[in-house]
Amino acid sequence: MKTFASQHRLQKHALLVSLIASLTLAGCKLGEVGPSPKSTNEPEQPPVATGSLVFHLAYDEPSGNTEEQVSDAAVVIQNQFNNAERVAGVNGNALRTDGFSTFLDANFSLANPKNLTVETWVALESYPSDRELPYDQHKPSALVSQFDGSKGFTLDINTWGEYSFRINVGGTLVTLKANERFPLNAWTHVAAVVDSVQGKVSLLLNGVLVASSNISKNQTLQLAERPLRVGKSHTDIVDGIFLLNGINGAFDDTRVYDYPLTSTALLATYQAGSSADSDAAIKTPASRFANDLQRPKFHAMPPAGWTNEPHGLVRNGNQLHMFYQRTPNGPFKTQSHWGHMVSEDFVNWTVLPDALYPTLDQGSTSGFDMKGIWAGDVVVSNGKAYAFYTNVNHSGDFNPGIALATSDTENFLTWEKQEPLIDSDQVQDFRDPYLWEENGTWHMLIGAKVQGKGGLAYYTSTNLLDWTYKPTFSSVSYANMDVGSEVWELPVFEPIGNGKHILVVNPVGGAVSKYDNNNPTRGLYWMGTWANGVFTPDYIQPKKLDLVRGHLSPTVERNEDGVLTAIGIVDERRGSQAQLDAGWAHTFSLAREWYLLPDNATLGQRPSEYLTSLRTAATPTSVANLSTADVTATGATGRQLEFVLTLDPNSTAERYGFEVLANADRSEYTRVYYDAIGKRIVLDKRNSTTTNEEDKTLLVENYDEAAFGKPTKFHVFIDGSVVDVFINDAAAFSFRSYPTKADSHGINLFAAQGTATFSALDYWSLKAIALQ
C-alpha cells in the first residue's frame, strides 16, 4: 500500500506538472503571474503531450527495501549490510548507495513504448570506479538502466564523470553525450526524454538541455528484457571479489513516464528541489558501521571505503590540513583520489570533499593522472596551497610524474590542476614527493628506485614551478643504506634538534614484504647532519621507526609549540573478504610527538598532548599495587580505552607486560610483554581472534634499553581493532587485532619467571571523534 506521504508526493507532482503544462499552453514563462502577450508572427507551439506516470521510486522508508509507487510492488534493495540506508533527500528520504554493494532491480514495462521520460535526483560523492585501464577498455556504469547492451535505455556515467543517455529507437541505438562532467557533491536532476511525435531525444541536467538528437518520428522503443536498475549498470566490473562500478551517492524520486515531459516542467522540478541539502545526503550514515566492533572511533580515517597513507600534512594559520589516498567507492584500491580533512589539534578532524581525483586533461581519452592520484606533499606559500602529487597514466609521458595542483580558496576546497612538472627520467622509478623550504630555496625529495634498489631523487627550486635535479643528496650511497628493497616510498626529512636531521623512508618490494617477519614493510630512519645540500647520516644501517611492524609512512607537521608531530597508517592485517564485509580498509595512527633522545642518535616518540581531549573524565580510574606471576584480570575493560601501566622497579619477573582485547574464557586475547633477559619486545597475536581472517603471529623485536630505558611505563590506546603502544614516552608501535566476541575487551596483567608488581594502573574511557 502507498503511504500517506507517498500519495501526497504523487498528488503534489501531478499538480505541479499540470500547472506547468497549463502555463506552457497559455504562453506563460516560469515565474510570470499571468499569460504574456503573444505575437501573431510566432510559430504555433506543438501541443503538450499527455500520458501517465508509469514508474516511481520515492525511497521514503526509514531503511531497508522500498516500494514502486504506481504498482505498489515491493522492491528489494541489494545491500551487503542487509539494511539499505536512507538519508535526507530532496523530498522526504533518499536512498544512499555505497558504491560497491547497494543497487535495486524493479519490474518495468511500457504498454505503448513510443514516448518516454526518465528522471531522477542524484547526489554523487564520487564517480564510479573502474579498473586501471586505458580509456577504450573502460565501460560506463549507470544511474538508471533498463539495458542489455543493445535494447532498452540507460543513463550512463563513467569513472571520469562523463555521462550520456542511450536508448534503442526503432532498432537503432541512439546515444546522447553531455560535454561537461556530471556535478559532484550537489543534488542534481537528470532527465532523458524521447518524443516520437516531434522526432527528438533529449538529455537535460537541472532542467537545461545538454544534448539532443533528431530521430525518425513515430518509432517504437525497443526495451530490454531486463528489470529497471538503479545504482549500477547491468554490466559488472569486478576485481576479484570486489564490485568496482557501483554508484556512490544518493537517489531520490526516480520516475518514468510514458510521455515526453517538457523542458519547462523539468526545469520546474529542478527549481522546486534545488535548495535541498546535499551534504546531508552524501554523508555516510552513522548506522552503517554502528555495530562494527573493529572500526576505530577516535582514530582519523575516511568515513568509508579504502584508504592508504596520509600525507601532505600542512599548517595554514590555526588549521591543519591532511590529505590521504583513498577509494571512496568501496574497500578496494583503484584509481586513487586525494581525500582531505582539517583539524586544529591533530586529534579532532572534519572530513572535506576529496581534493583531487583522476581526470581527462589531455584530450577526450587521456589524462596525465587518469590512472590515479598517488601520494605527495602540500606546502603553503603566501596563502596559496601547492599540492605536489604522483601522477600515473597510460600514455608513457610523465608516467609516473610529479604533478602540481594549486588552491587559494577558503579551506582549500577547490583545486586547479597544472601540468606535470617532473618526469622520472633521472631514476628507474619514483613516487611520493616531500618538500621543505630553506633560505628562499625549495627542496624536494622523491622516493625512488635507483640502480635496482631503494633510493631518492632530489630537486631544488626557487619558485615551486621550475625544478633542477641534484645528483647527490646523501653522502652515503643508497645501495649501502638500503635493506634489500626495490623502491623507497614517502620520505620525510626534518630538523629534529641539537643540529640533527632525521630522514625517514618506507622501503617496499624486493626482499621486503608486508608479512615477512624478518624484513617487513616498515618505516626506517637515519639521524645525521645537513649542510651545503648534502645529508651525512651518522650511521649506515637504519633504525626502525616502530618497535614492531604495523605502522608506517608518517606525515609530519609542527604543533603550536614547534614540536614535530606525526600521523601514519596502521594498515589492515585481515583478508579481502573481511575487508569487503566491513566496507572499509585501513586507518591512521594517533598523533605522535617526535623528539631526539639524549643519545643524539635515536628518535623518541610519545603520544600527542592533544589526545587528552578524548578523555571522558578529567581524572582516571586508578588501581594501585597490582601483582601477578601469571595472568591477572585488572577489572578495566573497553574497546575505546586509554591506560597507563607503571612498573614497580623492584619487580623480579623476567617477562612482564599486559594483555588487551581479552575475554573471560581467554579464547581471545593479545599479549604484549618485555623479555628483560633477552632485551626484546614481544607481540603475541596467536590467540587474538577465533577467526582465520587475521595475521595471527608472534612478533619478537630487539629493544634498545640504552636508548629507551628499561620499560617501566606502558601507555596504551585501544580503539576497536587498533592498539597504539608507547613505552617510557620514548619508543612506540601500533598494530591491529580483530577479536570477534563482544566481551573481548578486558585488560590483564602478565608476568612469567617471577613476579611483576605494578605500582599503578590508570585508565580512561575515550570518546569518539566526529569525522563527518
Using CA atoms, how far residue 664 sits from 632, 688, 740, in Å, is 11, 13, 13
Contact 621, 762 (CB under 8 A): yes
Q: Domain span at residue 414?
A: 315-423
Q: For residues 120-147, give the mean pLDDT.
A: 97
Q: Is the pLDDT of residue 552 over 50?
A: yes
Q: Which residues contact 755 (CB under 8 A, 6 or more apart)?
A: 627, 628, 629, 651, 652, 653
Q: What is the pLDDT of residue 19?
A: 39
| Nearest Cα to Cα of residue 489 among 537, 548, 437, 554 | 554
Q: Is the pLDDT of residue 41 over 90?
A: no
Q: Is the pLDDT of residue 656 over 70?
A: yes
Contact 190, 76 (CB under 8 A): no
| DSSP structure string for 134-182 | -GGG---EEEEEEESSSSEEEEEE-TTS-EEEEEEETTEEEEEE-SSPP
Q: Which residues contact 548 (CB under 8 A, 6 or more apart)?
A: 681, 683, 699, 701, 733, 735
The CATH number of the domain holding residue 741 is 2.60.120.560
Contact 673, 657 (CB under 8 A): yes
Give the HSE-up count for residue 354: Cα atoms under 13 Å, Cβ half-sphere: 25
- Regarding whether 417 and 332 lie in a shared domain, the answer is yes
Q: Which three cell numbers stand for residue 728?
A: 617510557
Q: What is the pLDDT of residue 26?
A: 35
Angstrom distance (rounded) from CA 529 to CA 551? 26
Q: Which three cell numbers stand for residue 271?
A: 527549481
- Regarding whether 706 and 619 lie in a shared domain, the answer is yes
The reply to whether 564 falls in a domain is no
For the stretch 498-513, pLDDT in tens is 999 999 999 999 999 9
Q: What is the pLDDT of residue 6?
A: 42
Q: For residues 93-105, give the mean pLDDT.
A: 98
The phi, psi pair for 601, rounded to 5°, reads -135, -15
Contact 433, 445 (CB under 8 A): yes
- Regarding whether 376 and 233 lie in a shared domain, the answer is no
Which helix (H) or strand (E) segment holds residue 771: the answer is: none
- Regarding whether 161 and 243 lie in a shared domain, the answer is yes
Contact 406, 378 (CB under 8 A): no
Q: Report the b/e string of 128-143 with b at 16+ CB within 10 A.
A: bbbebbebeebebbbb
The reply to whether 6 falls in a domain is no
Q: For residues 8-25, give the mean pLDDT.
A: 41
Bridge-based pairing of strands 305-316 and 584-585 is parallel
Contact 36, 27 (CB under 8 A): yes
Angstrom distance (rounded) from CA 643 to CA 640? 10
Confidence tier at 693 by pLDDT (50, 70, 90) = confident
Angstrom distance (rounded) from CA 290 to CA 768? 12
Any bridge partners for residue 752, and if so which?
A: 655
Which of these three, 376, 402, 423, is where a domain ends? Answer: 423
- Using the 8-state DSSP alphabet, how is residue 84 labeled? -
Angstrom distance (rounded) from CA 333 to CA 568? 18
Angstrom distance (rounded) from CA 306 to CA 193? 37
Q: 3-class SS at 350?
A: strand
Q: What is the pLDDT of residue 47?
A: 54
Using CA atoms, how far residue 321 sits from 311, 337, 338, in Å, is 10, 16, 12
Confidence tier at 49 by pLDDT (50, 70, 90) = low
Confidence tier at 48 by pLDDT (50, 70, 90) = low
Residues of the chain with pLDDT > 70, as a percent, come to: 94
- Regarding whether 274 and 319 lie in a shared domain, the answer is no
Confidence tier at 772 by pLDDT (50, 70, 90) = low
- Regarding whether 276 and 341 lie in a shared domain, the answer is no
Residues of the chain with pLDDT > 90, as a percent, come to: 90
Q: Is 433 exposed, middle or buried (0-12, 13-18, 19+ CB in 10 A)?
A: buried
For the stretch 298-347, pLDDT in tens is 999 999 999 999 999 999 999 999 999 999 999 999 999 999 999 999 99
The reply to whether 119 falls in a domain is yes
- Using the 8-state DSSP alphabet, how is residue 412 labeled? G
Q: In the predicted model, what is the mean pLDDT of the chain?
A: 93
Using CA atoms, how far residue 704 sits from 580, 593, 597, 603, 711, in Å, is 39, 19, 12, 12, 10
Q: Is the peptide bond before 400 cis (omega within 30 degrees of 0)?
A: yes
Q: For residues 649-670, give the mean pLDDT.
A: 96
| DSSP structure string for 515-533 | T-SSSBS--EEEEEEEETT
For the stretch 620-647, pLDDT in tens is 999 999 999 999 999 999 999 999 999 9
> 175-180 — which CB contacts under 8 Å span 24+ positions?
175/213, 176/201, 176/202, 176/203, 176/211, 176/212, 176/213, 177/211, 178/203, 178/205, 178/210, 178/211, 179/210, 179/211, 180/210
**Tally of domains within the chain:** 3
**What interhelical angle do 263-273 and 4-25 show, nearest 10?**
130
- Regarding whether 331 and 256 lie in a shared domain, the answer is no
Q: Is the pLDDT of residue 23 over 70?
A: no
Q: For residues 598-607, give the mean pLDDT.
A: 98
Q: Which residues contact 571 (CB under 8 A, 6 or more apart)?
A: 514, 550, 552, 586, 736
The CATH number of the domain holding residue 328 is 2.115.10.20
Q: Which three cell numbers stand for residue 556?
A: 609530519
The reply to whether 736 falls in a domain is yes
Contact 547, 707 (CB under 8 A): no
- Regarding whether 246 and 192 lie in a shared domain, the answer is yes
- Regarding whether 414 and 270 lie in a shared domain, the answer is no
Q: Which residues contact 714 (CB under 8 A, 6 or more apart)?
A: 644, 645, 647, 657, 658, 672, 725, 726, 727
Any bridge partners for residue 770, and if so which?
A: none
| Nearest Cα to Cα of residue 223 among 261, 260, 177, 169 | 169
Which of these three, 423, 456, 486, is where a domain ends? Answer: 423
Ramachandran quadrant class, 451 (left: phi over 0; alpha: psi -120 to 50; beta: rest) = left
For the stretch 362-396, pLDDT in tens is 889 999 999 999 999 999 999 999 999 999 999 87
Using CA atoms, how far residue 675 sits from 171, 711, 717, 733, 750, in Å, is 77, 10, 22, 16, 12
Q: Which residues contact 137 (CB under 8 A, 6 or more apart)?
A: 131
Q: What is the dihedral of CA 165, 169, 171, 176, to 10 degrees?
A: -30
* Of 500 and 16, more confident: 500
Angstrom distance (rounded) from CA 580 to CA 80? 9
- Looking at residue 621, its amino acid is T
The reply to whether 376 falls in a domain is yes
The reply to whether 497 falls in a domain is no
- Regarding whether 261 and 334 lie in a shared domain, the answer is no
Q: For residues 264-290, give the mean pLDDT.
A: 96
Q: Is the pLDDT of residue 28 over 60?
A: no
Total Cβ atoms within 10 A of residue 562:
7
- Regarding whether 206 and 158 lie in a shared domain, the answer is yes
The reply to whether 395 falls in a domain is yes
Angstrom distance (rounded) from CA 554 to CA 188? 38
- Regarding whether 749 and 674 lie in a shared domain, the answer is yes
Q: Is the pLDDT of residue 191 over 70?
A: yes
Q: Is the pLDDT of residue 11 over 80?
A: no
Q: Is the pLDDT of residue 18 over 80?
A: no
Q: What is the pLDDT of residue 4?
A: 34
Which of these three, 260, 282, 304, is where a domain ends? Answer: 282
Q: Which three cell numbers stand for residue 67?
A: 516500494
Q: Is the pLDDT of residue 399 over 90?
A: yes
Contact 644, 750 (CB under 8 A): no
The reply to whether 620 falls in a domain is yes
Contact 737, 723 (CB under 8 A): yes
For the stretch 442-490, pLDDT in tens is 999 999 999 999 999 999 999 999 999 999 999 999 999 999 999 999 9
* Of 329 and 50, more confident: 329
Angstrom distance (rounded) from CA 83 to CA 715? 39
Question: Considering just the CA atoms, what is the radius of gyration of the chain in Å?
Answer: 30
Q: Is 647 exposed, middle or buried (0-12, 13-18, 19+ CB in 10 A)?
A: buried
The CATH number of the domain holding residue 157 is 2.60.120.200
Q: For residues 289-306, give the mean pLDDT.
A: 96
